[in-house]
Structure 1
Amino acid sequence: MDKFGLYGKFTAKPENRDMLAAILMEAASSMEAVEGCELYTINISDTELDSVYVYEVWTDKAAHEASLSLEGVQSLIMQARPLITGMQRISTFKQVWGKGLPGQPV
């Protein structure tokens, strides 16, 4: 089965990036208990002062979609929404292999 990857960008309201990043870090921490989440990282840009990037790897697309309906995830989305001025799905991809990811090369 192909792994599902997602790379997204959130643009925060001015001076709200760190607060948004903290909420997304809480989401990343909660993913430890979510079946199918293999990697969930939060990244901030050195040059885009209002941007937060999220990089995710899932066992499959269905696992990612199922995570969005979890009560805890919905609560974090509601907390983050007022801080966000834009969202961009930069790319979705088929994860092939990488250091730190479980499994064998495809």
Structure 2
Amino acid sequence: MNEENKRVYPSGGFPGKLLTYAMLFFSLVLILAGLFGKNTRGGELLVQVMATPEPTLSTDVFDETPETREITLTTTTWYAIQLGAFENEASAKEMAIEYQSRGAAGYVFK
């Protein structure tokens, strides 16, 4: 390979190497702490099996599902603006689609 076409990739500078070495050191500390930790020096590790809770029966009140229900809604007031008047429906639908793509509720009303 020609010397003039040789690619040279810079190695990581001092901050990058320092960070790498620090991460390796802390990883080693965590591994050693896991190997020689408090629970592995002959201490007892307590494992208990928890009892499965028993299901409780519901009363008849909860089993009565109403077949129909009447709800009362509060009155609401709607406001609308007209964004254009068109001679043909295709132009109106085109503008409605444009506003729908922006998140508005664009629609065509005859």
Q: TM-score range with shorter-chain normalisation? A: under 0.3
Q: TM-score, normalised by structure 1?
A: 0.23
Structure with the higher fraction of residues in strand conformation: 1
Q: TM-score, normalised by structure 2?
A: 0.22
User: Larger relative contact order (C-alpha < 8 A, sep ≥ 6)?
Assistant: 1
Larger radius of gyration: 2
